[in-house]
């Protein structure tokens, strides 16, 4: 039996054609940005961190909490730790490699959020634009039948009133409508999923409550319509190409390196994921279809649809940390700071807020974490965690092939304590 995990633990622990927007005036000055560029990470092993992290990873594999994992740690621009451990495919006996390609799940969100913010800086879209300016057919209603506007800002901060089906029981409205969370339904088109999603009542008026959701899937379609480019091309133009992230995108360039995903059980070793598996979570469960990424007809889920390697994602995080990600200074600062003032953010848990890229630690003691105040972090349902700690000048990536241990299991806290030594 697969173990059931409460919804609150997920949100606490991991603290995816309309009329065009008017173009910026020709007289307007260009945004003050730092062009994105590939970070030059220097190898500088830290034996103290290595000893602690090695022990943490070895224990997770030995105790069958994860099948395989890759961890990279950068401190002040230096790669102080990197290691692959365990197996990429247990049944075939394939060892995990540092260049293993993982289904990123919700780690896709930060890539899409940065892409959207570059369009904000260019004047292509505005944070306060209504979604219907670009997707006129997407106007979900509240239970009273009213259809309040949802803004791009509310999509970025997950205050749109949308949700995920895995937060509800099997007879909930998202399930009845057949909404895909972007992790299942291989071959599903966006128009199909959009129609289903728009038919479900909002859980709250936009801008009033944080609820982790399909907001980033909607955001991906909004920016694609606004820029008149497919989402994969937009993310490539804004992020992956300038940063040299050669293995990151919405399709798999080298299927031989694609790692096999597994799911933790209540007891015993993890089981191999196959299409249709539902891993118990909160009031229901998360439906996975590992083959989704291999189906070209699957819509590019802005919230969960990308693949990538640990090295690629660390480069991305370092570019964000050092403000070499192509955003104007004010936009970059806003992305890394809490945006939920005046919003019901109780689902995130104590000591946490949310910016444009992920959860923001406001009070480490209340949050029960050794990371610094101002750390930005999130994860991915296939078993991943990342964080940027501006104070400690740290960027950390943990990619595993085991849900949900690598996202919200003991390994996450153990890794944080191993890196910080406290």
Q: Give the residue numbers annotated as catalytic, written as ranges.
A: 106
Cis bond leading into 404, ω under 30°?
A: yes
Using CA atoms, how far apart are residues 219 and 99, in angstroms rounded to an integer? 29
How wide is the angle at C-alpha 389 spanned by C-alphas 324 and 84, nearest 5°? 90
Using CA atoms, how far apart are residues 369 and 337, in angstroms rounded to an integer? 18
Which helix (H) or strand (E) segment holds residue 224: the answer is helix 215-227
Using CA atoms, how far apart are residues 69 and 409, in angstroms rounded to an integer? 13
How wide is the angle at C-alpha 177 spanned by C-alphas 232 and 217, nearest 5°? 20
What lies within 8 Å, CB to CB, of 56 at 6+ separation is 411, 414, 415, 418
Using CA atoms, how far apart are residues 66 and 86, in angstroms rounded to an integer? 8
In degrees to the nearest 10, what's the CA dihedral of 187, 178, 199, 249?
A: -40
* Alpha-helical segments (H) within 266-404: 310-321, 329-335, 364-367
Contact by Cβ (8 Å): 43, 79: yes
Residue 244, sorted as left (phi over 0), alpha (psi -120 to 50) or beta, turns out to be: left
Using CA atoms, how far apart are residues 216 and 156, in angstroms rounded to an integer? 7
Residue 415, sorted as left (phi over 0), alpha (psi -120 to 50) or beta, turns out to be: alpha
How many helices and strands, by DSSP H and E, does the chain display? Answer: 14, 16
Contact by Cβ (8 Å): 405, 399: no
Using CA atoms, how far apart are residues 36 and 34, in angstroms rounded to an integer? 6
Beta strands in 283-358 (DSSP E): 284-287, 307-308, 352-354
Which helix (H) or strand (E) segment holds residue 74: the answer is strand 68-75
């Amino acid at each position: 039996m697969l173990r059931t995990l409460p919804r609150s633990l997920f949100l606490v622990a991991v603290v995816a054609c309309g009329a065009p927007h008017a173009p910026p005036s020709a007289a307007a000055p260009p945004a003050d940005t730092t062009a994105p560029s590939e970070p030059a990470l220097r190898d500088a092993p830290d034996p103290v961190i290595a000893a602690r992290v090695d022990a943490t990873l070895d224990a997770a594999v030995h105790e069958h909490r994860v099948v395989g994992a890759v961890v990279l740690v950068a401190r002040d621009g230096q790669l102080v730790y990197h290691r692959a451990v365990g197996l990429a495919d247990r049944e075939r006996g394939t060892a995990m490699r540092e260049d293993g390609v993982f289904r990123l799940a919700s780690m896709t969100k930060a890539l899409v959020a940065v892409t959207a913010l570059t369009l904000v800086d260019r004047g292509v879209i505005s944070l306060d634009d209504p979604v219907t300016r670009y997707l006129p057919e997407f106007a979900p209603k509240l239970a009273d039948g009213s259809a309040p506007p949802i803004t791009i800002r509310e999509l970025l901060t997950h205050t749109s009133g949308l949700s995920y089906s895995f937060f509800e029981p099997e007879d909930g409205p998202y399930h009845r409508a057949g909404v895909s969370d972007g992790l299942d339904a291989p071959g599903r088109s966006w128009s199909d999923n959009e129609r289903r999603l728009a038919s479900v009542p909002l859980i709250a008026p936009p801008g009033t409550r944080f609820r982790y959701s399909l907001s980033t899937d909607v955001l991906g379609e909004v920016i694609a319509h606004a820029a008149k480019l497919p989402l994969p091309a937009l993310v490539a133009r804004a992020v992956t190409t300038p940063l040299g992230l050669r293995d990151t995108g919405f399709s798999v360039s080298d299927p031989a390196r694609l790692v096999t995903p597994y799911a933790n059980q209540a007891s015993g070793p993890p089981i191999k994921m196959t299409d249709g598996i539902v891993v118990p979570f909160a009031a229901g469960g998360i439906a996975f279809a590992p083959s989704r990424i291999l189906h070209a007809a699957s819509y590019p889920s802005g919230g969960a649809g990308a693949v990538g390697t640990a090295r690629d994602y660390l480069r991305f995080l370092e570019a964000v940390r050092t403000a070499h990600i192509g955003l104007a200074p004010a936009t970059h600062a806003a992305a890394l700071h809490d945006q939920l003032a005046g919003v019901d953010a109780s689902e995130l848990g104590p000591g946490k807020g949310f910016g444009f890229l992920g959860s923001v630690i406001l009070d480490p003691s209340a949050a029960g974490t050794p990371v610094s105040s101002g750390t930005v972090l999130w994860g991915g349902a296939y078993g991943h965690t990342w964080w940027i700690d501006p104070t400690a000048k740290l960027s950390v990536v943990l990619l595993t092939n085991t849900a949900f241990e690598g996202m919200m299991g003991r390994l996450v806290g153990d890794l944080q304590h191993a890196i910080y030594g406290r």
